[in-house]
Structure formats: C-alpha cells, structure tokens
Amino acid sequence: MTLKSIFNTLLVAVALVSCSQNLNSQNGTSVINIDGTKLTEMAKDSNTIIIDVRTPGEVAEGYIPGATKFMDYNGGKFETEYKSLDTSKTYIIYCRSGMRSSNASNQMVQAGFKKVYNLSGGINSWSGAIKKD
C-alpha cells in the first residue's frame, strides 16, 4: 500500500466518522444522555414520557416506575409505534444496558423528535425502585 492510498483511506474514514457524528444534528437536535437522577427529576414533568424499548420478557422482570410506553426495539413494530407519538413531547428512552435505547433515540431524532433523552447504562444503571405488574 502506498503512502497516498493510506492517506486517502484515512481521509475517507475521517469523513465517514464526521458524517455519522452529524447525522443527528441534521434537524438541530441530538440525543442527550442522562443518568437516573436526571430521569427522576425530568419524570416529574407531565410532558415527559418514559419509553422502555426492551422485550416483553425483560419488561415482565420489572421496569422503571413512570414508564408508560413499552415498545420492543427489536420487535419489528418500533418504527410504526414511535411515528404515532407527538414529536413535541419530551421522551426518555431506556433498555437494559443503553445500546438499544441509544439506537432508538437516534432513530427518533432523525425522524424529527426534538427532545429525546437516553438513560445511560439503561435499567442496569438504575438505582431506584423497580416496578412489576
């Protein structure tokens, strides 16, 4: 590999990283990562909706009190479900470890949602009570 081809490969890689970092800011919005303390504080606002994007089996093991939407990110209906939501509301998204909720949050921002928050570390990082039905 020549020095020029290495340089060109690096240039393409930097461009791709730059584009992916700006993907969420196309509409001037980006996902904000929060911790459990901030979630508790934000949940007091009636305009805030907490969404659990874990599987039904995971939800049955317990969920964060205040979660009112359960939309399995990998269940095949997530896009249809979030597109029916009000884009002007504030959404806090969480999963087990933060990966699915991060992806779900990014997807929602790309679709035009303005106030989307991701619980860093997911329910695994949650130190509060867990609710079971």
Label each residue of 35-97 as H, E or C: CHHHHHHHCCCCCEEEEECCCHHHHHCCECCCEEEECCCCCCCHHHHHHCCCCCCEEEEECCC
- Weakest mean pLDDT among 20-34, 55-69, 92-106: 20-34
Is residue 19 part of the annotated active site? The answer reads no
User: What's the pTM value of the predicted model, to 2 decimals?
Assistant: 0.79
For 68-122, what is each residue's pLDDT tens digit?
A: 999 999 999 999 999 999 999 999 999 999 999 999 999 999 999 999 999 999 9
Q: Which of 92, 95, 108, 119 is catalytic?
A: 95
